[in-house]
Amino acid sequence: MERISIDQARAHEGQQVEIQGWLYNLRKSGKIIFPVIRDGSGLMQCVAVKSNLPEPVFEALKNLTQESSLSVTGTVRAEARAPGGYELDVTDAHVVQRVPEERPYPITPKEHGVDFLMDHRHLWLRSRRQHAAIRVRHEVIKGIRDYFDSHGFILVDTPIFTPSACEGTSTLFEVDYFEDEKVYLTQSGQLYNEANAMAFGKVYCFGPTFRAEKSKTRRHLTEFWMVEPEMAYADLEEVKRVAEELVVYLVGRVLETRQEELKVLERDTAKLANVKSPFPRMSYDEAVKALAAKGSEIRWGGDFGNTDETLLTQDFDRPVIVDRYPAEIKAFYFQPDPERPELALGVDMIAPEGYGEIIGGGQRIHDLALLEKRLDEHKLPREAFEWYLDLRRFGSVPHGGFGMGVERFVAWMCGLEHVRETIPYPRMLYRTRP
Looking only at residues 223 through 282 of this chain, which bind a copy of itself when binding is defined by CB under 8 A?
223, 225, 232-233
Q: Which range touches a copy of itself (CB under 8 A), out of 148-156, 305-313, 320-328, 341-349? A: 148-156
Nearer to a copy of itself, 313 or 335 (CB): 335
Does 429 bind a copy of itself (CB under 8 A)? Our answer is yes
Q: Binding residue for a copy of itself (CB under 8 A) from 83, 84, 201, 302?
A: 201
8 A C-beta contact, residue 248 and residue 407? no
Shortest distance, position 108 Cβ to a copy of itself, whole Å: 12
Nearer to a copy of itself, 179 or 339 (CB): 179
Does 163 bind a copy of itself (CB under 8 A)? Our answer is yes
Q: Binding residue for a copy of itself (CB under 8 A) from 54, 85, 152, 168?
A: 152
Shortest distance, position 10 Cβ to a copy of itself, whole Å: 15
Shortest distance, position 56 Cβ to a copy of itself, whole Å: 20
Nearer to a copy of itself, 225 or 279 (CB): 225
Does 214 bind a copy of itself (CB under 8 A)? Our answer is yes
Shortest distance, position 82 Cβ to a copy of itself, whole Å: 20
Cα–Cα distance for residue pair 434/427, rounded to 1 Å: 10
Shortest distance, position 187 Cβ to a copy of itself, whole Å: 14
Nearer to a copy of itself, 201 or 280 (CB): 201
Nearest alpha-carbon partner for 92 in 64, 62, 36, 52: 52
The interface with a copy of itself within residues 379-418 (CB under 8 A) comprises 387-388, 390-398
Q: Binding residue for a copy of itself (CB under 8 A) from 116, 161, 300, 316?
A: 161
Nearer to a copy of itself, 279 or 409 (CB): 409
Q: Binding residue for a copy of itself (CB under 8 A) from 27, 28, 177, 218?
A: 177
Nearer to a copy of itself, 57 or 203 (CB): 203
The interface with a copy of itself within residues 22-41 (CB under 8 A) comprises 22-23, 39-41
Cα–Cα distance for residue pair 196/203, rounded to 1 Å: 7
- For 354, residues 6+ apart whose C-beta sits below 8 A from its C-beta are 306, 309, 310, 313
Does 159 bind a copy of itself (CB under 8 A)? Our answer is yes
Q: Binding residue for a copy of itself (CB under 8 A) from 154, 255, 282, 290?
A: 154
Nearer to a copy of itself, 274 or 432 (CB): 432
Nearest alpha-carbon partner for 239 in 343, 141, 338, 335: 335
Number of residues this chain uses to bind a copy of itself (CB under 8 A): 93
Shortest distance, position 345 Cβ to a copy of itself, whole Å: 17
The interface with a copy of itself within residues 104-133 (CB under 8 A) comprises 105-106, 120, 122-123, 125-126, 130-131
The interface with a copy of itself within residues 55-94 (CB under 8 A) comprises 67-69, 71
Nearer to a copy of itself, 21 or 362 (CB): 21
Nearer to a copy of itself, 206 or 334 (CB): 206
The interface with a copy of itself within residues 354-383 (CB under 8 A) comprises 366
Q: Binding residue for a copy of itself (CB under 8 A) from 84, 173, 248, 370?
A: 173
Nearest alpha-carbon partner for 259 in 139, 380, 362: 139
How, if at all, do strands 356-364 and 223-232 pair? unpaired
Tell me, letter by letter, the H, E, C secondary structure of the chain. CEECCHHHHHHHCCCEEEEEEEEEEEEEECCEEEEEEECCCCEEEEEEEHHHCCHHHHHHHHCCCCCCEEEEEEEEEECCCCHHHEEEEEEEEEEEECCCCCCCCCCCCCCCCHHHHHHCHHHHCCCHHHHHHHHHHHHHHHHHHHHHHCCCCEECCCCCEECCCCCCCCCCCEEECCCCCEEEECCCCHHHHHHHHHHHCEEEEEEEEECCCCCCCCCCCCEEEEEEEEEECCCHHHHHHHHHHHHHHHHHHHHHHCHHHHHHCCCCHHHHHCCCCCCCEEEHHHHHHHHHHCCCCCCCCCCCCHHHHHHHHCCCCCCEEEEEEEHHHCCCCECECCCCCCEEEEEEEEECCCCEEEEEEEEECCCHHHHHHHHHHCCCCHHHHHHHHHHHHCCCCCEEEEEEEHHHHHHHHHCCCCHHHHCCCCCECCECCC
Q: Binding residue for a copy of itself (CB under 8 A) from 46, 88, 93, 197?
A: 197
8 A C-beta contact, residue 321 and residue 362? no
